């Protein structure tokens, strides 16, 4: 299985991250470091180009936080199943507190413009996805996320945890099972392996 991993806001793609390492037990994991100060369309186009590259043959998209939001958008646009981990559901609301100057987790300065944030559409509700949540998420209200998405997607919520998501290893069986079911929806995947 070829997986695209999309990191969250203020982060970067890290080959050695716990989530990427866990996902590598399921298949090949690819990623790209995104500049979330770019516009929604620029980021969407970068990710779509990556997913639609025939040489990559991306079969599953996994994203965390704002990356989970983009996983829904790209998955629905490209017809690829996705897994959103503690996803941002309302990016305008969530990103509003970061408008202006700030620093990424690696210490790089950034400037996020209000017009960039205001241009975000809502979470895609027409794809084929699995939502994984930690009830202990301190940044995004997991109960509100669950209420918003449970009628549209398979959802699983874990007790405790945090926004960083403490249950990736416990989720691998769930992700595999979901991917196998999604293969029937989109007509590819496990049967092609």
Place 192 in a pLDDT band, splitting at 50, 70 and 90.
very low
The alpha carbon of 121 is separated from its chain's Cα centroid by a whole number of angstroms, namely 15
Average confidence score pLDDT of the chain: 92
CATH tag, 2-91+123-192: 3.40.50.1820
Distances (CA, A) of 32 to 29, 93, 113, 130, 174: 11, 25, 22, 21, 25
Short-list 92, 72, 99, CA closest to 83: 72
Digit-coded pLDDT (tens) for 27-64 = 999 999 999 999 999 999 999 999 998 778 999 999 99
State the Cα–Cα distance between residues 136 and 161, nearest whole angstrom.
Answer: 5
Predicted TM-score (pTM) of the model is: 0.92
State the Cα–Cα distance between residues 162 and 160, nearest whole angstrom.
Answer: 7
**SS3 assignment, position 85:** strand
Short-list 87, 86, 78, 37, CA closest to 60: 78
20, two tokens: 């990427």
Q: Are 128 and 185 in contact (CB under 8 A)?
A: yes
State the Cα–Cα distance between residues 176 and 29, nearest whole angstrom.
Answer: 14
* β-bridge pairing 154-158 and 28-31: unpaired
Digit-coded pLDDT (tens) for 71-87 = 999 999 999 999 999 99
The ranges assigned to domains in the chain are 2-91+123-192
Least confident interval from 54-63, 151-160, 166-175, 181-190: 181-190
Supply the pLDDT for residue 56: 82
Short-list 53, 58, 83, 81, CA closest to 69: 83
């Amino acid at each position: 299985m070829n997986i695209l991993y999309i990191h969250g806001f203020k982060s970067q793609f890290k080959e050695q991250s716990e989530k990427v390492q866990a996902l590598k037990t399921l298949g090949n994991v690819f990623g790209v470091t995104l500049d979330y100060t770019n516009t929604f369309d620029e980021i969407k186009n970068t990710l779509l180009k990556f997913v639609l590259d025939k040489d990559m043959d991306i079969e599953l998209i996994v994203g965390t936080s704002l990356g989970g939001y983009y996983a829904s958008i790209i998955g629905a646009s490209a017809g690829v199943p996705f897994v959103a981990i503690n996803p941002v559901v309302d990016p305008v609301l969530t990103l509003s507190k970061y408008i202006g100057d700030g620093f990424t987790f690696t210490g790089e300065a950034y400037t996020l413009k209000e017009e960039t944030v205001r241009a975000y559409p809502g979470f895609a509700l027409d794809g084929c996805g699995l939502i994984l949540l930690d009830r202990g998420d301190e940044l995004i209200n997991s109960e509100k996320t669950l209420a918003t998405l449970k009628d549209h997607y398979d959802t699983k919520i874990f007790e405790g945890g945090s926004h960083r998501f403490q249950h990736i290893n416990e989720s691998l069986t769930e992700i595999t099972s979901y991917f196998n079911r999604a293969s029937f929806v989109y007509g590819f995947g496990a049967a092609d392996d």
